[in-house]
Amino acid sequence: MDSQQGINVSVNSEIGKLQHVLVHTPGPELEKVTPENAHDFLFSDILNMQVAQKEYGYFKRVLQKVTQVHEIGDLLTEILVSDNVKSNLVDRICKAEDKGFIAAYLKSLPAAELSRQLIEGVQLDDITYINKERFALAPLPNLFFMRDASFTMFDNIMISNMATQVRARECMILNSIYSLHPLFETKVINPVLNYDTHGIGTVEGGDVQIIRDDVVICGLGSRTNMHGMEALVEHMKTKPGVKHLIFQELPLTPESFIHLDMVFTMLDVDKCMVYRPVIMNSAYKTFHITIDGQKAVGNEVPDLITGLNSIGFDLEPVYCGNGNDDWAAREQWHSGCNFFCFEPGKFIGYGRNQHTLEALNKAGFSIITAADVANNKVNLNNVKKCVVAFEGNELSRGGGGARCMTMPVQRMAVEW
């Protein structure tokens, strides 16, 4: 498509038919992660780039069959053609990361090369005994988890305030793209910067799900804190009509629980994927906040499903691991709850989580392989309810799934 044709940004559900989605195909930045620095980059393992790219290729080809797909690297290159944009972005990054000594070098690069190096990093030419840093500018190996650093909320693109400094550059890059690229017709908002008077709020897109045009749910855990969640409430006060925000407490460990979409995702108007040991566990509190104008009133509810059903849903949970908590624990670790809808009742996720796929099959969703879709053996228009399963044995080791790797910016309305 012509990348200059503007998108009317609109996401009012997790399941509406997908019109436009942003992705980043993982590249050489993954190979900059080593056993020594993996923890610094928030990885619990190191990934094989070639295998990860092959798996990602099938994932992206499925998306291209059902929607318009835009690569973040391409969009970044297109805005960096402007010398003014290039200079401003480089200055902001170098100031934030205290890397002023490479500003002139970065500004001298052509747009495509600068885009590449801002993502893949800039390696120091000579590493001395005194300076053991490998990078003049660190790589961004987490960027392919597109959902974290920004999210679409109704008619706005929201910039996250990340819990870890190592991902802050992703937010700066995305903010520039959304604000300056003609593809996006929207107001870009950082809710924490706008509304958090304490200055310590964090909110990440993996914790925020837009369920309906009046309902948002949010995880409260290691990545999104109470001040960040309160900033979302303040933003929702600016929207007309009565709104609802339900926030779900998450375990702080292990790292597989970092975001709400690792334990809950929507699948259809009446189905959702649930990790029972967290979502149906009274040890993790759930609160429902009703927002009416400038008033916000909250009360505790028994669990997330009950809270949603109390405001007009009729959700039936499908359980990760097919109801067996041992299977569920293993499959949740590899993003067994992390599905991404491209229209109601049609979604994509990892094929490795066999017990979860069995549960979905029993719930009425046919199982289709991504290879069959990519190779035109199956036309998804001819399938009513389905899960498209793609190989993710390598990708899943990065700690995220299909929802993590997508940033939708336009969906069609849903008939509830």
Q: How far apart are CA 413 and CA 416, in angstroms?
A: 9
**pLDDT over threshold 60, residue 201:** yes
Q: Burial level of 92, CB count in 10 A (0-12/13-18/19+)?
A: middle
% of the chain exceeding 70 in pLDDT: 97
357 CB contacts (<8 Å, ≥6 apart)? 351, 367, 387, 389
Pairwise pLDDT comparison (216 vs 3), residue with the higher score? 216
In this structure, the strands spanning 271-274 and 407-411 are: unpaired
Q: Burial level of 397, CB count in 10 A (0-12/13-18/19+)?
A: middle
pLDDT of residue 150: 98
Q: Burial level of 356, CB count in 10 A (0-12/13-18/19+)?
A: buried
pLDDT of residue 134: 81
SS3 312: coil
User: In b/e form, how buried is each residue of 194-208, taking b as 16+ CB within 10 angstroms?
Assistant: ebbeeeebbbbbbbb
The pLDDT tens digits for 162-187 are: 999 999 999 999 999 999 999 999 99
Main-chain dihedrals φ then ψ at residue 409, nearest 5 degrees: -120, -10
- CATH code linked to domain 7-411: 3.75.10.10
pLDDT of residue 4: 52
pLDDT confidence bin for 113, thresholds 50/70/90: very high
pLDDT confidence bin for 127, thresholds 50/70/90: very low
Q: How far apart are CA 269 and CA 210, in angstroms?
A: 13
Question: Any idea where the domains of the chain sit in the sequence?
Answer: 7-411
Instruction: Classify 293 in phi/psi space as left (phi over 0), alpha (psi -120 to 50) or beta.
Output: left
Q: Burial level of 264, CB count in 10 A (0-12/13-18/19+)?
A: buried
**pLDDT over threshold 80, residue 2:** no
Q: How far apart are CA 357 and CA 322, in angstroms?
A: 8
Q: What is the DSSP string of 111-123?
A: HHHHHHHHHH-EE
pLDDT confidence bin for 131, thresholds 50/70/90: low
Q: How far apart are CA 210 and CA 232, in angstroms?
A: 12
The pLDDT tens digits for 92-110 are: 999 999 999 999 999 999 9
268 CB contacts (<8 Å, ≥6 apart)? 15, 341, 344, 345, 385
Instruction: Classify 332 in phi/psi space as left (phi over 0), alpha (psi -120 to 50) or beta.
Output: alpha
Q: Burial level of 70, CB count in 10 A (0-12/13-18/19+)?
A: buried
